[in-house]
Structure 1
Amino acid sequence: MRTTTIILAGATALGIFATAASAQQNMTGTITKIDRLNGTISIQQTQSGTVGAGSGAIQEFKVTDTNKLEPFHAGDKVNFSASEGGSTKTITDLKKQ
């Protein structure tokens, strides 16, 4: 009984860790729109995988510090990380490629 409890607790902890690790993945994409007044940025993610794969859907992200958007423009290719809290996706890291 105790061994089963330990195994289940370990499996649960591993599942929680894997979810947290995937919550902030490094992604690449192209900026399609920047709204500096509302602190949002829209990015079309680059699809990973085989040659000839199309582009991903355009997603809008919140930016906590709008001053960080100054060097960026629509059309820039970027590497970024984002976190999701509730229904809001927030950029945590943004760099030009």
Structure 2
Amino acid sequence: MRAGKIALTSLLGAGLVTSAALAQQSLSGMVTKIDRLAGTISIQQSQGGTVGTTGGVIQDFKVTNGAMLEPIHAGDKVSFSTSESGGKTMIDKLEKQKP
């Protein structure tokens, strides 16, 4: 009985960790537009693979902290992580990639 409880608790804990990891995604792309007043950024996500040179879809994001937009400019390549908050995708980490 005790071993069953331990196994069940371990499985539930692993499920919670997996859910949190899936909720936060690490992505990369090129900045196409920034609205510092509204705290939003448009990013064309990088396509995986080596076939073709077309970029991914351009998506608008709201940032959790407007100060993270200061060093970023249109045309910069960035890596970022997103999370869901109230049904909206928000950027919670944004870094300019080195050339």
Per the normalisation by structure 2, the TM-score is 0.76
What is the SS of the residue equivalent to 1:10? helix
Q: Displacement, 1:4? A: 4.4
1:34 aligns to 2:34 (yes or no): yes
Separation (CA, whole Å) in 1 of partners of 2:44 and 2:33: 10
In the alignment, is the contact (CA less than 8 A) between 1:47 and 1:56 conserved in 2? yes
Paired residue total: 96
The residue type equivalent to 2:51 in the other structure is G
CA offsets, 1:43-95, max 9 Å, x none? 121122x2116533222211133232122122211011122112222212111
1:80 aligns with 2:80: yes
Shift of 1:8: 3.5
Secondary structure of 2:60's counterpart equals strand
Matched with 2:68 is 68
Q: Give SS of 2:56's match.
A: strand
Question: Does 2:67 correspond to 1:51?
Answer: no
**How far does residue 2 in structure 1 lie from its aligned partner after superposition?**
5.4
Gaps of 5+ in 2: none
State the alpha-carbon separation in 1 of the partners of residues 9 and 58 from structure 2: 38
Distance in 1 (CA, whole Å) between partners of 2:41 and 2:81 is: 13
TM-score by length of 1: 0.78
Q: RMSD of the TM alignment (CA)?
A: 2.1
**1:37 Cα deviation from its structure 2 partner:** 1.6
Cα pair 1:60 1:89 within 8 Å, conserved: no
What amino acid is aligned across from residue 42 of structure 1 in structure 2?
Answer: S
Q: Tell me the secondary structure at the aligned position of residue 7 of structure 1.
A: helix
